[in-house]
């Protein structure tokens, strides 16, 4: 028990998993996905302002732990995130995360938040924001290959942001497909459970691959992909972990977040280092072209970049005000006399 209660001067708002879920329900998931997509697009427009660096990854045989930092000069942010495909077999999440925003002016944290739920939301919002620019006009059907933790978020974001009306589900584990179909029931999407990846792609203009396997997997082979589709490739996001056959990449126009990171982690790690790619921020600000013809295959080689997490945390910070969906955390030592840290510790000693 502390003899002196902590000062309340430097309490940091903290959004727990429980409060994040409350906030999502308070705002409404589709409205929140659309809002996140707008925040992410806004930050892509001012891309050049940000500090950018490929994420710092610590790889092991079983997975990866990563730090993803960035700053727009006024606010600094980072996310801690893991990726462990074997985790679900042990009843654990493949991906878990938390993140922080801080004031660049004094370095004090201004928000700490869970980011496991928020990463699923921001990944889906980014996918749909990109598809809004690249998918063929009138796209209304999506193949959803890989029906794990991200699948419902991806489906709902494509519905609310791109007008997708039907999702065609495929997973090697039928229980995962059952779970996704059950969760999406009554949410305004036509949901079709398919018996193969090929079947899931019938009539789909958008193909999302969102599987987890720590290897060069072939979720889409060259002969499976027809002209004119948009591929939203989510699961290939680590060295040695990809989803698409090289032939698919050679037939596609490839769009990326941050090439320096994607060349290490994305599908394009399978291509030569000078293979041309287009950065999404340049499509968004109009300096580069997105889809130019109906027959073109566009591929978003998504790996997830720090600016998307920054945008998501910025959204949370601007939407928790006036709600009780956060706690105040005594995270920072903040003595009345800033040089008397020791005195503060001493005064907190036993009576």
With CB under 6 A as the contact rule, the residue among 35, 77, 148, 259 that binds ligand NAD is 148
Q: Does 150 bind ligand NAD (CB under 6 A)?
A: yes
Beta strands in the chain (DSSP E): 12-15, 56-59, 64-71, 75-83, 97-103, 109-114, 141-145, 166-170, 190-193, 206-209, 216-220, 230-233, 242-244, 252-256, 278-279, 297-301, 327-329
> Of 261, 273, 200, 199, whose CA–CA distance to 236 is shortest?
261
Nearest residue (CB) to ligand NAD, 12 versus 219: 219
Query: Does residue number 54 form part of the binding site for ligand NAD (CB under 6 A)?
Result: no
Decide: 219 and 243 in contact? Cβ < 8 Å.
Answer: yes
Site string for ligand NAD, 204-243 (x = CB under 6 A): ------xxxx---x-x--------------xx-x------
68 Ramachandran zone, left/alpha/beta (phi>0; psi -120 to 50): beta
Could you say which of 160, 269, 302, 311 contacts ligand NAD (CB under 6 A)?
Answer: 302
CB of 258 to ligand NAD, least distance (A): 12
**Judged by CB, which is closer to ligand NAD: 148, or 259?**
148
- List CB contacts of 32: < 8 A, sequence separation 6 or more: 23, 24, 121
DSSP 6: P
Applying the rule CB under 6 A, the residues between 87 and 116 that interact with ligand NAD are: 88, 94-95
Nearest Cα residue to 12 out of 290, 255, 317? 317
What CA dihedral angle connects 39, 44, 49 and 54, to 10 degrees? 110
Active site residues: 237
The size of the interface with ligand NAD (CB under 6 A), counted in residues, is 29
Identified binder of ligand NAD from the candidate list 83, 99, 259, 290, rule CB under 6 A? 83
Residue 123 touches ligand NAD, criterion: CB under 6 A:
yes
Kindly state whether residue 24 participates in binding ligand NAD, applying the rule CB under 6 A. no
Query: What is the closest distance, in whole angstroms, from the C-beta atom of residue 162 to ligand NAD in the complex?
Result: 17
Of 114 and 171, which has the nearer Cβ to ligand NAD? 171
d(CA 156, CA 152): 6
Closer of 57 and 217 to ligand NAD (Cβ):
217
Q: Does 301 help bind ligand NAD (rule: CB under 6 A)? A: no
φ, ψ for residue 231, nearest 5 deg: -105, 125
Print the binding letters for residues 156-195 with ligand NAD: x by CB under 6 A, - otherwise: --------------xxxx--x-------------------
CA distance 283 to 287: 6
Q: Residue 285 Cβ, how far from ligand NAD at the closest point, in Å?
A: 21
Q: How far apart, in Å, are the Cα atoms of 224 and each of 148, 177, 196, 219, 237?
A: 22, 21, 11, 10, 22
Q: What is the CA radius of gyration of the chain?
A: 21
Closer to ligand NAD by Cβ: residue 314 or 325: 314
Output the residue with the shortest Cβ distance to ligand NAD: 148
Minimum Å gap between C-beta 107 and ligand NAD is 28
Contact set with ligand NAD (CB under 6 A): 83, 88, 94-95, 119, 123, 145-150, 170-173, 176, 210-213, 217, 219, 234-235, 237, 302-304
């Amino acid at each position: 028990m502390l003899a002196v209660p902590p000062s309340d001067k430097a309490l940091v708002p903290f959004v727990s998993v429980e409060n994040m879920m409350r906030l999502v329900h308070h705002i409404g998931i589709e409205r929140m996905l659309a809002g996140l997509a707008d925040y992410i697009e806004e930050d892509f427009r001012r891309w050049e302002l940000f500090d950018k660096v490929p994420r710092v990854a610590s790889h092991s045989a079983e997975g990866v732990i990563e730090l993803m930092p960035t700053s727009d000069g006024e606010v600094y942010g980072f996310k801690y995130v893991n990726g462990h495909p074997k985790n679900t077999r042990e009843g654990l999440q493949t991906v878990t995360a938390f993140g922080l925003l801080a004031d660049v002016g004094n370095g004090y944290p201004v928000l700490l938040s869970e980011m496991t739920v928020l990463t699923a939301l921001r990944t889906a919002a980014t996918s749909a924001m990109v598809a809004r620019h690249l998918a063929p006009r009138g796209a209304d059907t999506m193949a959803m290959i890989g029906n794990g933790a991200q699948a419902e978020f991806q489906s709902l974001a494509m519905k609310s942001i791109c007008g997708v009306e039907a999702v065609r589900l495929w997973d090697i584990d039928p229980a995962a497909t059952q779970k996704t179909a059950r969760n999406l029931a009554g949410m305004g999407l036509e949901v079709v459970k398919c018996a193969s990846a090929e079947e899931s792609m019938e009539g789909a203009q958008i193909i999302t691959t969102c599987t987890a396997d720590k290897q060069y997997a072939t979720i889409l082979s060259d002969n499976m992909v027809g002209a004119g589709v948009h591929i939203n490739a989510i699961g290939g996001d680590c060295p040695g972990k990809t989803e698409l056959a090289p032939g698919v990449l050679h037939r596609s126009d490839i769009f990326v977040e941050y090439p320096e990171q994607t060349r290490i982690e994305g599908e394009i790690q399978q291509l030569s280092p000078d293979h041309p790619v287009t950065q999404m921020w340049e499509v968004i600000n109009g300096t580069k072209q997105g889809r130019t013809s109906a027959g073109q295959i566009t591929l978003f080689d998504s790996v997830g970049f720090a600016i998307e997490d920054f945008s998501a945390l910025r959204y949370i910070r601007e939407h928790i005000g006036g709600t009780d969906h956060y706690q105040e955390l005594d995270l920072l030592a903040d003595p009345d006399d800033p040089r008397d840290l020791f005195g503060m510790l001493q005064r907190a000693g036993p009576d």
